[in-house]
Amino acid sequence: MNWVAWDKVISPGVCLMPGKDSVSWLYDSSGAFSVASVKGKMLRNSSSNSEHVFVWNKLVPKKVGFVTWRAVLGRLPTLDALVRRKLPVSSTLCPICGEVEESIEHVFVSCGIAQTMWSVISLWCKLPAIFLFSFQDVVNPHKFSAFPKEKAKVFQAVCLIATWCLWKRRNALVHSGTLIHVTSLVEEIKIMGFLWIKNRGKKGDLSWEDWCSFRL
Ligand SMILES: [Zn+2]
């Protein structure tokens, strides 16, 4: 706890005063403890780490954003995570490329299929090539787009859908042996994105042709 007996503190610039000892709560100017001051302190601390805050997007269903949210918290059951939890796995190698240990960063950032997927998406959305350095770059797509606000929100939705689709296909590969083809993966991202942006984004006049050219 951060209770301080003021007249017991001995440090440069502090004078000991005569009188009875007292305690004071540091995070309120009155010195009195309150739940509101604790909440204020917690909010100030969390805002200093805002780049790691996941922003939900109403253009996609909750189940879609859920995958990215869990990945941000490090709670997706990738093989390295299962080993850390002492669960038995036959191999920790990435089930997609089989080259390195599977982790969240690897599945969504550095695995060959992820890199191809992001590069096709950047072409589709008419962005310069996307260079992802960490999973946080997937969560904060506005960092590498100069889209106006509404279009940036749609692009964030595309990134959430891409992450959801890739994880879904990774699971199908692990559990059913279904191979991942990047063309069909990107096609699914486009189709699901079209349905959700058109209906949830109230863009009833959006045509498939415009969507495929990312003309919003
Ligand atoms: Zn891989």
- What pLDDT does residue 202 have? 83
> Residue 31: left (phi > 0), alpha (psi -120 to 50), or beta?
left
- What pLDDT does residue 4 have? 45
Nearby residues for ligand 1 (ion, Cβ within 5 Å) = 94, 96-97, 111
**Is residue 159 domain-shared with residue 114, that is, in the same domain?**
yes
Cα–Cα dist 104/159, whole Å:
15
Distance from the alpha carbon of residue 57 to the mean position of ligand 1, in angstroms: 28
Count Cβ atoms below 10 Å from residue 146 Cβ, excluding itself: 9
What crossing angle do the helices spanning 149-176 and 182-200 adopt, rounded to 10°? 130
Sign of CA dihedral 174, 104, 96, 102: negative
Distance from the alpha carbon of residue 112 to the mean position of ligand 1, in angstroms: 6
- What pLDDT does residue 7 have? 45
- What pLDDT does residue 168 have? 97
**What range defines the domain where residue 201 resides?**
50-212
Distance from the alpha carbon of residue 114 to the mean position of ligand 1, in angstroms: 8
* pTM for the model: 0.75
**Is residue 66 domain-shared with residue 28, that is, in the same domain?**
no
**Is residue 106 domain-shared with residue 82, that is, in the same domain?**
yes
- What pLDDT does residue 76 have? 95
- What pLDDT does residue 47 have? 44
**Is residue 27 domain-shared with residue 66, that is, in the same domain?**
no
Distance from the alpha carbon of residue 159 to the mean position of ligand 1, in angstroms: 19
Task: Quote the strand ranges of the chain, DSSP E.
Answer: 3-5, 23-25
Distance from the alpha carbon of residue 2 to the mean position of ligand 1, in angstroms: 47
- What pLDDT does residue 182 have? 95
Compute the half-sphere exposure of residue 121: CA atoms within 13 Å on the CB side of its CA: 31
Mean pLDDT in order along the chain per 10 residues (216 residues):
46 61 67 67 50 82 95 93 93 96 95 94 86 82 78 93 97 95 96 95 91 93
- What pLDDT does residue 117 have? 95
**Is residue 90 domain-shared with residue 15, that is, in the same domain?**
no
**Is residue 60 domain-shared with residue 128, that is, in the same domain?**
yes
**Is residue 9 domain-shared with residue 65, that is, in the same domain?**
no
